[in-house]
Amino acid sequence: MTTTPIDTAHAAMEAAPDDDAARLRFYERLADAELFLMLTREPQGDDISPEVFEVQDSAFVLGFDLEERLSGFAGRAVPYVALSGRALARMLAGQGIGLALNIEVAPSSILLPPQALEWLSQTLDHAPSQGEARPQSLHAPTGLPEALLQALDAKLAMTAGLARKAYLARVTYEGGGQGHLLGITGAVAGAEGALAQAINEALVFSGLEAGALDVAFLTDSDPLTAQLAGVALRFDLPEPETPGRVERLAPGSDPDKPPILR
């Protein structure tokens, strides 16, 4: 039986019900996952009609993190749409509808109430703030939780083709302020917002306060890049996927444009 990242995160959350970090990791995996949502009919453009069922006076849609789990639950061919967990959360936010995730077909079977999806949508919409400061000195990173380093590594691994490298260092700014700086090089024009949001989510789902990590977009020739390369922890971002891959234009493909619930 296939074990998915959601299965692993769900098991950790169930094993430590009072551990906020485990619960945050589960919701992060949910947001990042591709989910297969059961429909009552084939999608009509951006309009979708999810299958909804009632449990104790609450409404839930049916979502699965593997196609075979969807087909195993349905026992027959059914219409469905694939969309990210973040798109699904945004679609259901404010609708009073929860998510029945992997119900009856996986160890991660769980009913997520509408309030949980509302919280997830609001958390994902929390945007990083902007500011200006001039670094005075850079040092090797220290004192950062392992959970944050793992979250950064996972998030950056999902940004294939958006940038080349990221350098994490401890920084002292002119004026005496201190913190940690993530310098990103080779960012594709227009990708800065998506990269900053991904890093902000790594912070949020690690349970750290917003602003605990500063982000700067640099060129390879920037003097600061050379300084970072000498002391920082380096992340090599994945190469872009090979040309010729057919882009999937389906409801939920654009995280900024969730499908319309009918």
Helix (H) or strand (E) holding 67: helix 67-74
How do 97-101 and 58-64 pair as beta strands? parallel
Give the CATH fold of the 5-125 domain: Trna Endonuclease; Chain: A, domain 1 (3.40.1350)
In this predicted structure, what is the pLDDT of residue 109? 97
Token pair in block for residue 191: 């990708």
The DSSP code for 213 is: S
pLDDT for residue 47: 86
Tokens of residue 189, six digits: 């024009």
| Integer CA distances (angstroms), 16 to 13, 102, 187, in order | 5, 20, 38
How far apart, in Å, are the Cα atoms of 84 and each of 75, 143, 172, 186?
23, 33, 38, 26
**Domain 135-236 belongs to what architecture?**
2-Layer Sandwich (3.30)
Among 46, 111, 16, which Cα is nearest to 250's?
46
Measure the CA angle with vertex 26, ends 93 and 65; round to 5°. 75
Phi-psi group of 102: left, alpha or beta (phi > 0 → left; psi -120 to 50 → alpha; rest → beta): left
Predicted confidence at residue 211, as pLDDT, reads: 53
pTM over 0.85: no
State the Cα angle at 106 between 105 and 109, rounded to 5°.
95
Tell me what pLDDT residue 166 has.
Answer: 95
Distance CA 249, CA 255 (A): 12
CB atoms within 10 A of CB 32: 18
pLDDT of residue 246: 37
Task: Tell me phi and psi for residue 217, to 5 degrees.
Answer: -105, 120
- Residue 143, pLDDT score: 86
Tell me how far apart the alpha carbons of residues 244 and 231 are, in angstroms, rounded to a whole number. 38
Tokens matching residue 195: 């990269």
Largest Cα span, the chain: 65
Can you give the pLDDT at residue 218? 94
Burial category of 239 from C-beta neighbours within 10 Å (exposed 0-12, middle 13-18, buried 19 and up): exposed
Q: What is the pLDDT of residue 145?
A: 86
pLDDT at site 43: 87
Contact yes or no for 166/202 (Cβ under 8 A):
no
What are the residue boundaries of the structural domains of the chain, listed by start? 5-125, 135-236
Q: What is the pLDDT along the chain (262 residues), one digit of tens a residue?
A: 789 999 999 999 999 999 998 999 999 999 999 999 999 999 887 889 999 999 878 899 999 999 999 999 999 989 999 999 999 999 999 999 999 999 999 999 999 999 999 999 998 887 666 777 889 999 999 888 888 888 899 899 988 899 999 999 999 998 888 889 999 999 999 999 889 989 988 888 887 754 578 899 999 999 999 999 999 999 999 887 654 443 444 444 454 455 666 5
